[in-house]
């Protein structure tokens, strides 16, 4: 089971890399960021599929989405100077809270 969450964690990191380099690819006109983006996404989806062996798809996707949103936002704030405003920060808090609630209190997360 620990390996399952390790796969999901790696998938999230790779998806974050893929999304972050997607902007740098300039609509796939720059080869290196394009290759990194496509490769990262491919590996991320493979690792996500491995994690689905033991984690319900809805729970895995909730974790994947929430972590990806937060990580990409942090990276875009640092790299691209796209600083989230207070409304966005509050929204992120709600997204994270939703994932925590699903994992702690939902019966689906224990299947």
What is the per-residue pLDDT across 36-85, written as a single tens digit (0 to 9) for each? 999 999 999 999 999 999 999 989 999 999 999 999 999 999 999 999 99
Angular region, 28: left φ>0, alpha ψ -120 to 50, beta rest: left
Buried (b) or exposed (e) across 32-59, using 16+ Cβ within 10 A?
ebbebbeebbebbeebbebbbeebeeeb
Number of domains the chain contains: 1
* Cα–Cα distance, 4 to 8 (Å, whole number): 6
Q: What is the pTM of this model?
A: 0.87
**Structural domain boundaries enclosing 34:** 2-110
75-92 confidence digits (pLDDT tens):
999 999 999 999 999 999
Cβ distance 8 to 63 under 8 Å? Answer: yes
């Amino acid at each position: 089971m620990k390996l399952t969450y390790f796969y999901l964690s790696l998938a999230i990191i790779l998806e974050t890399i893929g999304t972050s380099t997607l902007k740098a690819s300039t609509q796939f006109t720059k080869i290196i960021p394009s290759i990194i983006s496509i490769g990262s996404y491919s590996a991320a989806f493979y690792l996500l599929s491995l994690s689905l062996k033991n984690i319900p798809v809805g729970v895995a996707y909730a974790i994947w989405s929430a972590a990806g949103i937060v990580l990409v936002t942090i990276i875009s704030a640092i790299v691209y100077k796209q600083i989230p405003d207070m409304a966005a920060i509050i929204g992120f808090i709600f997204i994270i809270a939703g994932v925590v609630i699903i994992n702690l209190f939902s019966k689906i997360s224990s299947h």
